[in-house]
Amino acid sequence: EIVLTQSPATLSLSPGQRAILSCRASQRISTYLAWYQHKPGQAPRLLIYDASHRATGIPARFGGRGSGTDFTLIIGSLEPEDFAVYYCQQRRDWPITFGQGTRLEIK
Amino acid sequence: QVQLQESGPGLLKPSQTLSLTCTVSGGPINSGGYYWSWIRQQPGRGLEWLGSIYNGGSTYYHPSLRSRITISADTSRNHFSLSLTSVTAADTAVYSCARGPRFESGFSEYNWFDPWGQGVLVTVSS
């Protein structure tokens, strides 16, 4: 099983600041990684697929990079609606796995 | 536009069988090369993939649940279902269905979990 480790567990920032979230895979997964945003009571929202491609309708302030084992989600300038939990997910191999999540909270 | 909606009992007693259905609208579940999946979130924890079904037949399951889980599909009703036997309090979670993954070559957002249903809370309590 490919384990995804996200850091930090919680990130406290203010609107307008830049957020950098990390996801590390226990083995190489090429670019088979996605990022989701999850807010309470809502379905998770696909943000970034294949490590660096923005999904349809996702604002340009969201960006992803990485390949192999180390991946990063960058939110360029935080908007109030960006405070949520973010998960990475791999589909390089079964079982599909998610990271444990990073909670992005308002400072 | 594809939409998914989960349905099923919200309260179970320990040892019972959890049965949920995901009804898909806006497109047939037996086309497009998609797997259709179940994912849950236990209280205070992250997302956990449970299993996926492809074209009404081929399935993959989370190793820790393999002895208790069955995912099936009814293409005539355009829905797929989750069955989880011998539930315990640890199976209390919000259960969501999602389209995906898909394993087409190249970069595509359609290869990932999207869209998702809204999720349904299932509580296991005596």
Place of tokens 């036997």: B85
- Tell me the three state secondary structure of residue B68: coil
> What average pLDDT is seen over chain A?
97
Chain B hits for A38, Cβ within 8 Å: 47
| Cβ separation B109–A53 shorter than 8 A | yes
pLDDT > 90? residue B57 = no
Calpha distance A15→B87 (Å, rounded):
43
pLDDT > 80? residue B56 = no
Calpha distance B119→B95 (Å, rounded):
5
Calpha distance B85→B12 (Å, rounded):
11
pLDDT tens for B26-51 read 999 998 899 999 999 999 999 999 99
Percent of chain B whose predicted confidence (pLDDT) is above 70 = 99
| Cβ separation A46–B117 shorter than 8 A | no
Tokens of B50: 């449970």
Please give the interface size between A and B, counted as residue pairs whose CB atoms are below 8 Å apart. Answer: 68
Percent of chain A whose predicted confidence (pLDDT) is above 70 = 100
What secondary structure letter does DSSP report for B89?
A: G
* Angle at the Cα of B91 from the Cα atoms of B90 and B96, rounded to 5 degrees: 140
| Cβ separation A91–B62 shorter than 8 A | no
Rounded alpha-carbon distances, angstroms, from residue A37 to A59, A88, B31, B83, B92:
13, 9, 27, 27, 22
Q: What is the mean pLDDT of residues B109-115?
A: 94
Per-state percent for chain B, helix, strand, coil, to nearest 5 = 5, 50, 45
Confidence tier at B106 by pLDDT (50, 70, 90): confident
Residue A30 identity: S
Q: What is the mean pLDDT of residues B94-108?
A: 93
Chain B hits for A87, Cβ within 8 Å: 46-47
Q: Are B19 and B8 in contact (CB under 8 A)?
A: yes
* Angle at the Cα of B56 from the Cα atoms of B55 and B61, rounded to 5 degrees: 95
| Cβ separation B118–A42 shorter than 8 A | yes
pLDDT tens for A19-64 read 999 999 999 999 999 999 999 999 999 999 999 999 999 999 999 9
pLDDT in the model for residue B1: 92
> What average pLDDT is seen over chain B?
95
Q: What is the mean pLDDT of residues B39-65?
A: 94
| Cβ separation A43–B62 shorter than 8 A | no
Interface test with B, best of A45, A67, A91, A92 (most B CBs within 10 A): A91
Calpha distance A89→B4 (Å, rounded):
20
> How many Å lie between the alpha carbon of B82 and the closest alpha carbon of chain A?
17
pLDDT > 90? residue B55 = no
